Amino acid sequence: MEPLWKLVYLLEPSSVTLFVTAVAVSHASASRALNYGKEMERNRDMSEASITLDRSQALMIPIMSSCSLLLMFYLFSSVSQILTAFTAVASASALYFCLSPYVAHIKSQFSLSDPYISRCCSKSFTRIQSLLLVLCIGLVATWLVTGHWILNNLLGISLCIAFVSHVRLPNIKICATLLVCLFVYDIFWVFYSEMFFGANVMEYVGRSVPGNNVSDYMMLGLGDMAIPSMLLALVLCFDHRKSQDSATALDMQPSKGIKYFGHAVCGYAVGLVTALAAGLLTHSPQPALLYLVPCTLGPVMVRSWINKELAELWEGSAANINEKTHKTSKRVHFVRSLIREVAGFAPYEKRITELLKVGKDKRALKVAKRKLGTHKRAKKKREEMSSALRKMRAAGGGEKKK
């Protein structure tokens, strides 16, 4: 144990930069996840819908992470090229996802013309989008050649933001399950893996990955930012929905107050400082989630219990930003029915109807899920198309009788 006066090293530029970067990335990831959910809901474009984890998937993440860790520990030289290729593709996609909103904002501000020039993988690309994609690929290629630390950090931040935006947690119950499992996972692989495998597996893999500069006393990886950011995104969406509900009930503008999100961000900051301090005092690698999980999950649970909203957060009884349900007015219902009557069904809806006609209900569900993104939306759409098909058959039967 080092003397307490060494905590003054926390004020070094490297420690301050690490702290500010981690908190800023976590905050940005949660905010981008909220905005991405709003974009999907506003545009009704579910082709790139997010994935909502269930309990079995949450339990599988630590298991699969452990298997990946052991694979890299024993066969890193064999899988390093595959890992690098996968990282390059994922980084280019994540960087494109993160830069797209800013490019779209600049395009709208300056009223730039942006015609469609190509179509790839059933998705149309405009000229500016194509240039942005080329830029992202060029940055990734430059990182592969030079390994520059700025590009390494930029791509890592992009991966974290994209992951949090696309992989969601439905409620605090699933979130707590995931965080507790990863809490145990991090402690085992940092503190006890040497007893079973003859070396600190987490530290060895962290030092082996190119571009990772792991200090002697602290290991802060992308997972230490991405996993708590999933909790931040969950509570930020919850706060946003609650403010919208209160605004609707009071017929006024939504409240700007942040309840659980502010507590979660402050808890993350406290946990990060505690992890850094523990690393300095013990002068040994510390699992960051050992401190981050209690400091982020604890304040949210306590505050929601005080506000008597723990049950709602725990079960997720109310829908989140991507699964929100609301009553449509008569006017909206009339407009939608008029559009349906004039324009007919969308191409994917026609495909679902054709499959239902021949009794391929499961295939119709797969088509709907691939288009809409979630199982819940797919089932609702299949039921809607089944009802429309029954009405068409009933109308056809009535005309034949006449």
Q: Closest Cα partner for 275 from 3, 22, 5?
A: 22
* Residue 163 to residue 389: CA distance in whole angstroms: 39
Q: Catalytic residue at 361?
A: no
Contact 365, 357 (CB under 8 A): no
Q: Catalytic residue at 224?
A: yes
Task: Choose, from 54, 114, 186, 239, the residue flagged as catalytic.
Answer: 186
Alpha-carbon torsion, ordered 239, 241, 244, 249, to 10 deg: -100
Task: Choose, from 54, 114, 224, 251, the residue flagged as catalytic.
Answer: 224
Number of C-beta neighbours around residue 398 at 10 A: 9
- The catalytic residue positions are 186, 224
